[in-house]
Amino acid sequence: MSNIAIVGGQRLQGKVKVSGAKNATLAILGAALLANESIILENVPDISDVRIMVNIIRDLGGEIDWLDKEVISFVPPKEIKKSPIYNNVKKLRASNLLLGPLLAKFGYAEVALPGGCNIGVRPMDLHFKGLAGLGADLYIERGCVKGSAKKLAGARIYLDFPSVGATENIMMAACLAEGQTIIENVAKEPEIVDLANFLNSLGGKVRGAGTDVIKIEGVKSLDRGGRYAVIPDRIEAGTFMVAIAATRGDAILEGVIPRHIEPLIAKLREANVEITEEGDNLRVRAVSQLNPIDIKTLPYPGFPTDMQSQVMTLLTNVPGTSIIIENIFENRFQISDELKRMGAQIKVEGRMAVIEGVASLQGTVVKASDLRAGAALVIAGLMAEGVTEIINSFYIDRGYQDLEDKLSSLGAKIWRND
């Protein structure tokens, strides 16, 4: 298994294109099972999570081919295999997004309990409650989630927490349910809106995505195919923005939707990072002294938990005291121990981290514990003096396409050690 090595101290400069959104792609791949016609998906990130989801759907009988680096063709299965697809599903938490489409289209679902990053408790009770409200019967048996549904019927469903996955699962299932479904207190992330737009492109009737309430009018079938382009990945864009700021660089991100990352843009500007919006491009420039900031993670449109580790890393080198409060995942501060190995001064108390900026980090061997922590450690390596080696780089491959190549194009000294 390869590790990532970085020689720090290089300012990031130039231009880099942001890939398609990981989380939108995974949901859209699940939703494509609902279709009756073939689909071409564009701007699909070539990352390990997507390839695992592709393999899972192939196991179910779907026909998926890569036509180009970021383009796939998808022919939905007419019927599915009913055996658990354990080896792939255990690696990917987003595989739970297959439940809604499978129950709605085929009346049956059986998948292994999903895996993913170890960043905290992420129960599936909201998924179960919502799908049960539509008429599905779900239970867990011997490490597998099993479910059946003779015919789903529209319902009014209230989510106790605006879960992205639960919102997506219920929304997909409701597209083929009889009657109207109203989901309240839903997630409002851009990926939810992208999924709704994709479902509507197939012939679905989804309204209200991006607001607190989503309404779905069920249809008998989704009979349209065609082409659909996935939105840019706001977390990849944010990761590059922080990396540029951390190296006191000056670079342009291409193919971004700035409104999707407004909370991060606002906080980076508060830290004295210059950010200029030019259509779907962002110029990030950090040549002046940076200021300490405080952040609180919240569901969208609040500050994204998926950017917390990266910003923590940036703040380790900003003079003064910064405070981070993590309101989403209780284990998101695991990275602090690795950053402290590099010389950072961080004190963690429950869901709060206090960061005292130091003059510089020192390169050493560190270990990624999840996807975003891995990306944050790459940023730490770019900032640090000397050489940093990151173990468990496979976490990074789950969500970032061609990360080393993109950073190298900006002037970073980064490579893989096999």
- pLDDT 10s digits, 159-186: 999 999 999 999 999 999 999 999 999 9
Chain position carrying tokens 């991006």? 210
CA dist 352 and 263 (Å) reads 19
The 8 Å CB, 24+ separation contacts for 114-119 are 114/89, 114/90, 115/89, 115/90, 115/91, 116/91, 116/92, 117/93, 117/369, 117/370, 117/371, 117/372, 117/395, 117/398, 118/331, 118/369, 118/370, 119/329, 119/331, 119/332, 119/334, 119/370, 119/372
Binding residues: 22-23, 93, 122-126, 306, 328
Binding residues for UDP-N-acetyl-alpha-D-glucosamine: 93, 122-126, 306, 328
- Secondary structure (3-state) at 107: coil
Amino acid 94: pLDDT: 76
Q: What is the mean pLDDT of residues 334-350?
A: 97
Residue among 217, 214, 221, 263 nearest 241 (CA): 263
Alpha helices in 210-317 (DSSP H): 234-246, 262-270, 308-315
CA dist 369 and 396 (Å) reads 10
CA dist 324 and 405 (Å) reads 31
- Reading the block at residue 215, the tokens are 């309404």
Q: What is the mean pLDDT of residues 254-283?
A: 98
| Residues annotated catalytic, as ranges | 117
Residue among 124, 134, 125, 128 nearest 183 (CA): 134
Residues 6+ apart with CB under 8 A from 278: none
Binding residues for phosphoenolpyruvate: 22-23
Q: What is the mean pLDDT of residues 209-237?
A: 98
pLDDT band at residue 187 using 50, 70 and 90 as cut-offs? very high
pLDDT band at residue 90 using 50, 70 and 90 as cut-offs? low
71-80, 135-144, 241-250, 359-368: segment of lowest average pLDDT: 135-144
Contact 184, 166 (CB under 8 A): no
- Secondary structure (3-state) at 347: strand
Amino acid 115: pLDDT: 52
Domain with CATH 3.65.10.10 in the chain: 3-19+232-417, 22-229
- Reading the block at residue 300, the tokens are 């969208």
Amino acid 121: pLDDT: 41
Residue among 402, 346, 393 nearest 373 (CA): 393
Contact 322, 316 (CB under 8 A): no
Amino acid 44: pLDDT: 99
Chain position carrying tokens 């703040």? 315
- Reading the block at residue 77, the tokens are 């299965």
Q: In what order do the strands lie in the sheet with 3-7?
A: 365-367, 387-391, 3-7, 413-417
CA dist 132 and 153 (Å) reads 10
Amino acid 142: pLDDT: 79
Amino acid 81: pLDDT: 76
CATH number of 22-229: 3.65.10.10
User: Model pTM?
Assistant: 0.95
For domain 3-19+232-417, the CATH superfamily is Enolpyruvate transferase domain (3.65.10.10)
